[in-house]
Amino acid sequence: MSDILETLQCATGLIKTWGQSRLPRGSTLAEALTLNGIPFWDAFAVELARIYMPAALTSSSDISQIIRPYLSRAKHTLRAFVHKRSTHGCSTWPVGQTILCLGFSDYMYRDVLQPVANLLAEHPDSRVVSLSDKSWHKANQSSCQNVLHQTVWQH
């Protein structure tokens, strides 16, 4: 009987620690999962401590392999719930339909993609964004004014 109590106490301690863990924004996990005054973490914590953690702790398999699918699914569900994505994207992205040109390297952009981007930008209703993994030092010198140069790090 003491093994069962020890397992439940261990599971409860782990869940309590997770709930009190600080997230990068400074709030705890329990605080982050309180939406519109509803403490979702309190409901999740009971189920985790009562069912999932004891099963994972008493299993002979690796605990990370057992609990990972549940935590991963919960993480993605909560992220989708809290951070509702839209087609509006980033604030630096142009409004309306935009043509995206991927500049994988300086010479590829200069020799191949820049003339295409310039031609596309000549159309009155077109918005062209050239995206690269590093800043565009030389691109602005010989590029059309209607081509916006951004890095993936801006998004």
Domain ranges of the chain: 2-82, 99-154
Say which DSSP state 136 is in: -
Q: What is the DSSP string of 25-71?
A: TSSBHHHHTEETTEEHHHHHHHHIIIIIHHHHHH-SS-HHHHHHHHH
pLDDT tens, position by position, 59-114: 666 666 667 777 888 887 777 777 665 555 677 778 778 888 887 777 778 888 88
Give the global pTM. 0.41
| Coil, helix or strand at residue 105 | coil
Interatomic CA distance for residues 135 and 113, integer angstroms: 16
Interatomic CA distance for residues 54 and 60, integer angstroms: 12
pLDDT tens, position by position, 7-46: 778 888 888 888 898 888 888 988 988 888 888 888 888 8
